[in-house]
């Protein structure tokens, strides 16, 4: 038991020494402050951090993610096509594609996909 405690203390002391030594010898300076600040699409985050963005862009990005996930769900369906009977394979794939197509139709009718406001 004492050996474990001694090993833990030695590891802690070595880790603390290495952290202290690396922070003292690092070449970071205040000149690198601009380099380490976040850069976001050309906007200066210090002055205009809360500017509004287009909600249409956000909705189109969400729709893109949904259809991207749809593809990743449909890919295994092609891999398992040999192990399922064709009727259940078509039923599962057709139901999934039908639901996604209904969602796309709803987005089209709701004019979320329209770039023109």
Q: How many domains does the chain have?
A: 1
Full residue range of the structural domain in which residue 62 is found:
55-109
In a domain, 70, yes or no: yes
Render pLDDT for 6-28 as a digit per residue (tens, 0 to 9): 999 999 999 999 999 988 887 66
- In 1-117 the beta strands, taken as DSSP E runs, fall at none
| pLDDT confidence of residue 67 | 80
3-state secondary structure of 53: coil
Stated pTM of the model? 0.46
In a domain, 48, yes or no: no
Q: Is the dihedral of CA 72, 76, 77, 78 positive or negative?
A: positive
Q: Does 30 have pLDDT greater than 60? A: no
Render pLDDT for 81-99 as a digit per residue (tens, 0 to 9): 788 888 988 898 899 889 8
In a domain, 89, yes or no: yes
In a domain, 39, yes or no: no
Tokens read off for 63? 């729709």
| pLDDT confidence of residue 45 | 57
In a domain, 98, yes or no: yes
The percent of residues above 70 in pLDDT, for the chain, comes to: 75
| pLDDT confidence of residue 11 | 96
Higher pLDDT, 37 or 110: 110
Phi–psi pair at 51, nearest 5 degrees: -80, 145
Cβ(66)–Cβ(103) under 8 Å? yes
């Amino acid at each position: 038991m004492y050996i474990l405690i001694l090993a833990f203390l030695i590891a802690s002391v070595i880790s603390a020494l290495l952290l202290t030594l690396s922070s003292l010898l690092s070449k970071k300076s205040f000149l690198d402050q601009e380099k380490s600040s976040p850069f976001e699409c050309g906007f200066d985050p210090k002055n205009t951090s809360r500017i509004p963005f287009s909600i249409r862009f956000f909705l189109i990005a969400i729709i893109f993610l949904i259809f991207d996930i749809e593809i990743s769900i449909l890919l295994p369906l092609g891999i398992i096509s040999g192990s399922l009977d064709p009727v259940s394979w078509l039923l599962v794939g057709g139901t999934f594609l039908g639901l996604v197509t209904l969602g796309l139709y709803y987005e089209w009718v709701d004019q979320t996909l329209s770039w023109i406001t």
